[in-house]
Every structure is written in C-alpha cells, then in structure tokens.
Structure 1
Amino acid sequence: MCRWLAYTGNAVPLETVLFRARHSLIDQSLHSTKGATTTNGDGFGLGWYQHPHDIPYRYRSVHPAWNDRNLRELARAVTAPMFLAHVRAATHTPVQETNCHPFRHRRWMFAHNGLIQGFPLMRRELLVAIDPGRFNALEGSTDSEAMFYLAMTFGLEADPVKGLERMAGFVEAVAQKHGIEPALNMTVCASDGEQLVAVRYSTERNSRSLYHSTSFRHLHELYPDDPRIAAVGDDAYLIVSEPIVDLPEAWAEVPESTAIVVRGAEIDYRPFVPVMP
C-alpha cells in the first residue's frame, strides 16, 4: 500500500524527519517493515504550512522517493512547523502526479493509506455524491482523492472527525449495496494548518499500521544528547505509518477505530464510528 507521516511542533528542516531519521519515510519507500508491500515507489508527495492560515505548499512527483534529487534539495532548504508526507504504492489507478498524495483543497490537505475494496465498481456512485461545487477540483482517479472530497462534502471543514465518519459510513453503505465486503481499510490524515486529524479504521477491524509519538518532553529527559529529539521541542507530535527511529519509548500504536485530533499541545483521542450521512 503506502506509507505516510504527519508532523507538528517546532519548525524543523524537512530533511530532519524525511531523510535523517533512522528508518525515515524515504527509507520506508524501499524497506517498509509493517506495510502491505515492502516497496512504495509509485510516487511521492509532500505538503507543508509556513503559517497556519496560508494555503499549504506542495511538491509531488512520480519518481520513487529514494531517487528524487529535487526532493532531497527541497527537504534541505525548507523549514516548517507542520507537514504531511506520503510515499505511494499504487493499487487500482495509474502512476501519475495527480494521483500522488497529499491532496489539497484550499487550506486542507489529505493523505491516505489503504483502499476502498471494489472501487472501480463503486466509483461512479461515490463520485456523484460529491458536492457539485467541489467536483471540478478533482484532478486524479484514486479512491483516496474521492474519499477526501466526500469528507469535504459531508462536513470535514466544520467538524473533521464527523466529516470523516460520514464519509466512511457512506462508502460502507454503497459497498453493501454492491455486495462488497469488507468495504474500507484506511489510515488517513487531514490538516488545515491549525490541526492534524488522523484516523485508523477498517470495516473488518484489521487496519493498516499507524503509530503516534509519545511525550517528547519525556524523551528529552531520557535522551538529552540525541539530536534527533533535541530539535523538535517538548510539544512536537508525529503520526506515522511505522516508527521512524529506533527508540521503543518514542512510539505507541494507534488503537483500532480511533481518531486523533492534535492542536498545538492539546491531543484528543476519540472513538471513530462511521455513520450514514
């Protein structure tokens, strides 16, 4: 499938997380240990905010992340307090730039690992449900982008968790009509520059891997001389498909059917329960 990460905290050079960490996201694009596929070489995407109220910047490429020299230069040059990054392993759809995550609509970005089972059979019905005012913003052909615009249609901007719950409930209802089971497997992240919203959920309760960082304040005490921790600050928070550094105390697995909302130092964990919109 895919691997992704989301970061919020002190502004850091993007290469700190993308390249310098042991088992970084770039390393995972070749050597994933917890994904459905070991190699995730069907494109890369990166989105970042310089200021909370700005439209995010974005870089996407169909090159494998490990072989993208422009990405390495960009990650060395850019410093940001919040960003999303994604390495892709394509399923139903072609390798093209418009199918690379994160997807963006105004201030919002969205990244996904997983799939809608039977998406080609359901695609028309799912796309027709997207708000007509947003439909022309669709650029690619992935189930992930369809999920993003369905969530936008069902209220992501007003209440991100509820918007995602309605999206998941709608997908499952359409799948049931088509006799498709299980319908949905997803770890997703959405952000508007002020918050990170991440979800781990699947219809069969057997979701793709997802982890979050534990207290960086505690890690500073345990590892005061570790430069990988020193730069990010006490209130930094990372959500990752799989751990990116070799510190067992640094990571905890996100439980099944759980949503996480991160606003600065405030972190809220909620049950994730799909509902039909």
Structure 2
Amino acid sequence: MCRWAAYLGEALFLEDIVTAPCHSLIAQSHCAQEAKSPTNGDGFGLAWYGDRPEPGLYRDILPAWSDPNLKSLCRQIRSGLFLAHVRASTGGATSRMNCHPFISGRWSFMHNGQIGGFEKIRRALENSLSDAVFDQREGTTDSELFFLLMIDEGLASDPQGAVARATSRVVDASRRAGVEPALKLTAAFSDGQALYAVRHASDGHAPTLYTAAKGAGRCIVSEPFDRDGGDWQAIPPSSFVTITTSGMSIHPFAAAVEKLALVG
C-alpha cells in the first residue's frame, strides 16, 4: 500500500522530510519496510500551504525516486504545513488525477488503504453524492471518492464527524451490495490550519501510523523516516488525531463509527 508523510509547525524545507532523511519518503517509494509491498512506484504528490488559503499541488505518474523535479521542489519550498504521498495502486489507472493528495478549495487529503469490493459499490457511492460535490470528481480511485464523501458529510465544520459518517456510508453500501465491509483507512487531511489523521480498519488491522516531534513542529507518517534519530510514537488503531500549533490530541474513532451504525 501507499506511504505518506505530513508536517505542521515552524516552516521548514520539504526536503527535510521528503527527500533528505535516510529512510525518507523517496526511500520508502522503493524500499518500504512496513507495507505489504516494498515498492510504491505508481506516482507521487505534494500539497503545501503558503500565503494563500488553498494549497499548492504537484503530482506526477513517475516513481518518486526517478523525478528530479521532485527533489528540486523539495529543496526550494519552505512550508509550515504540507502533505506528501507515494502511491502503490490498489485500483485506478496510473494517472495524475489518481495521484494523491487530492484537493478541494482549502482542503487537502491523502490516503493509505482501500475500500474492499470497491467496484461493486462504486456506483452507489458516487450516486449518493450531491451534484455539487460529484462535479469535483476528477479521477477513478476509491481514495478520492472517500474524500468527496467526507466533503459531502460536512468536512468544513466537523472533520471527525465527517470521516465517521463517510465511513458509515461505505459500510452501509457494502452491506446493501452483499459485500463484507472491508475498509482500510489511514489518511491525513488539512484545511490549511490544522492537520488531521485517522487510523481505522473494519477488520481491526489498519495500516501503520506514527508521529514524532520535528524541530518546532510535528510529523505524522506511515512509517518513520529516521528510526535512530526520532522518538516515534505509534498511533493506536481506531484513532482520530488532531495536530495544531498548540499541540496534538488523539481521540477514539471506532466508537463514533459504531454509534452511527447503530443509529442507521
């Protein structure tokens, strides 16, 4: 599955996380240590925040290790909030529109995981979107569609609740289609102010997630990029993380999903 890293704090060069460390995101693109496949070569992407409310975005279909533009950008761009992703496709063509992060207005989103049985429930989920949100659909991935479900469920005003309600919609669509729910969701997203992350799986085996302080900020990553130099904390499964300039909080996530399922 995919690998990703996100950061919020005092502005630093993207290379400090994406390209320079010994087990940087570029290293993980061809030699991941905690993924089912060590290779994540189906494209990459960056979303970073600066002086404008909406993020900058750079995505390409090349493997991250073979694009000199990525290294140059990371060496030159300083940001206090950014998301970076290397993709191992579990569905959807290798195209720029299918590379993470995805953006909508000031929001950015990236994902490691998948919606099991997606082709059997894709149409139902797309049809459930409001017209305005459906019109934002550009690619074909389950990840982008999940992001749009979050937007449809009130992401702007209630980030954790929106993820829980989107999760409930996926579970409900699976059950209606006679498919055992099989959602793996380790994702990060931001509105340009706070950085959010969720680690959840319907089978209890969610993809890995770690966090550590990085200078005057905090990273959250799929796997550590410097195992000798960082005090990495594993985020427990079924957790929702909020990182701001004031600190970090971790709250249970599965309980919210189960409550919605009971109400439904």
Q: Same fold (TM over 0.5)?
A: yes
Per-residue deviation at 1:179? 2.3
| Partner residue, 1:20 | 20
| Partner residue, 1:64 | 63
Per-residue deviation at 1:127? 0.5
Unaligned runs of 5+ in 2: none
Letter in 1 for 2:196: V
Post-superposition Cα deviations, 1:119-171, rounded to whole Å, max 9, x if no partner, equal 01100000111121121111000000000000000011111000000000110
TM-score computed with the length of structure 1 as normaliser = 0.90
1:113 alignment partner, SS class: strand
| Partner residue, 1:199 | 198
Asked if the contact 1:3–1:40 (Cα under 8 Å) also holds between the matched residues in 2, the reply is yes
Letter in 2 for 1:203: S
| Partner residue, 1:97 | 96
The within-5 A match list for 1:220-231 is none
Question: Runs ≥4 in structure 1, deviation > 3 angstroms?
Answer: none
1:122 and 2:103 matched: no
Per-residue deviation at 1:249? 5.3
1:257 and 2:256 matched: no
The separation in 2 between residues aligned to 1:62 and 1:190, in whole angstroms, is: 21
Letter in 2 for 1:136: D
Letter in 2 for 1:102: P
Letter in 2 for 1:75: C
In the comparison of the two structures, how many residue pairs are matched? 258
Per-residue deviation at 1:246? 2.0
1:34 and 2:15 matched: no
The within-5 A match list for 1:77-92 is 77-92=76-91
Letter in 1 for 2:93: P
1:122 alignment partner, SS class: helix
The within-5 A match list for 1:34-183 is 34-51=34-51, 54-183=53-182
Name the % identity.
40
The separation in 1 between residues aligned to 2:205 and 2:3, in whole angstroms, is: 17
The separation in 2 between residues aligned to 1:35 and 1:131, in whole angstroms, is: 35
The within-5 A match list for 1:235-254 is 236-247=217-228, 250-254=231-235
CA-atom RMSD in angstroms: 1.3
| Partner residue, 1:7 | 7
Per-residue deviation at 1:36? 1.6
The separation in 2 between residues aligned to 1:177 and 1:113, in whole angstroms, is: 25
Letter in 1 for 2:180: E
2:154 alignment partner, SS class: coil
Post-superposition Cα deviations, 1:223-266, rounded to whole Å, max 9, x if no partner, equal xxxxxx5xx32xx1111000010237510111010000111122
2:19 alignment partner, SS class: helix
| Partner residue, 1:269 | 250
TM-score computed with the length of structure 2 as normaliser = 0.95
Letter in 2 for 1:44: F
1:250 alignment partner, SS class: coil
Instruction: Describe the shift of the 1:248–1:169 C-alpha distance in structure 2 as closer, same or farther (beyond 3 A).
Output: farther
Unaligned runs of 5+ in 1: 217-228
Letter in 2 for 1:128: N
